[in-house]
Amino acid sequence: MAAVRVWGVTEPGYFVSFEGGDGSGKTTQARLLGDWLGQTLGRDVVVTREPGGTFLGLELRRLVLHSEDMDPRTEALLYAADRAHHVASLIRPALDRGAVVITDRYLDSSVAYQAGGRELGEDEVERLSLWATHGLPPDVTILLDVDLATSAARMPADLDRLERVDESFRQRTRDAYLRRAAADPGRWVVIDAAGTIDDVQARIRAALTGRLPAPARPEGERP
C-alpha cells in the first residue's frame, strides 16, 4: 500500500496511475485528468506513460511493441528497465517538487500482462518492478474496466505486437486487474469505462476529489 503523502510546496507530490486493458481509454482519460488538475485547479501536473515516458523509454517502447516476438521473461525485463529509468529520471523528481504525476500504465500493468496474460509468476513480476522502482507505489490507481466485447470494438485496425493476443489472454489480464483491485481497495478505484468519454472523466474526478490533498500555502503565507 502507498505511503501517505502530504501535499505541500516542499513536500512530496501525489502519484496517480491509470490501468486497464486495451481499449479502456487510459490515454485519453489520463490526459483529460491532467488538463483538469493543471488548467482548472492550478496544480503542477506531469502526465506520462509506460513505456515511452522518456527518450530511452521511447526506444524500449518501439522494441516491445513493434519488434520480433520475444519470450515473456525478456519482455518483463525490458518493461522493468523502462520503469527503473522512468522513476529515477522523471517520476521521483516531479514528486519531490510536489507535483501530481499521472502515468498511463505502471507496475500493475506488468503484473496483469506478464503474470496474468503471459502466466509468469505474479510474485516474481511484482518483486522485479518494486526492485526497479525502489518500492515506489502509486497513491491511487484508477482501473478503467470494460468487458471484452467493448474492448474489441475499440481496438484499432492496425494492431501492434502486444495487441495481437487472443480472447483468453485478454480475459486473464482483466481478471488479474480486478483481483488486484479487490485485494487493495485503499489504493485502487475501479471505474466502469463503458460510457462516454465525458461520463468516465466525471466519475474519475468525483473519485479523486476526496483523495487529493489541498495544496499547502508557502511558509509564512496567511490563510
The reported pTM is: 0.85
* pLDDT tens over the chain, length 223 residues: 333 343 333 347 999 999 998 889 999 999 999 999 999 888 999 999 998 888 888 888 788 776 667 788 888 888 899 999 999 999 999 999 999 999 999 999 999 988 776 777 889 999 999 999 999 999 999 999 998 888 777 766 665 555 556 788 888 889 999 999 999 999 999 999 998 999 999 999 999 988 887 665 554 454 4
Q: Are 207 and 36 contacting, i.e. CB atoms less than 8 angstroms apart? A: no
Name all contacts of 191-198 with Cβ < 8 Å and 24+ positions apart: 191/142, 191/143, 191/144, 191/145, 192/145, 192/146, 193/20, 193/24, 193/25, 193/29, 193/144, 193/145, 193/146, 193/150, 194/146, 194/147, 194/150, 197/25, 197/28, 197/29, 197/32
The helix (run of H) or strand (run of E) holding residue 31 is helix 26-35
State the distance between the two ends of the chain, measured CA to CA, in whole angstroms: 33
CATH architecture of 14-209: 3-Layer(aba) Sandwich (3.40)
Q: Domain extents for the chain?
A: 14-209
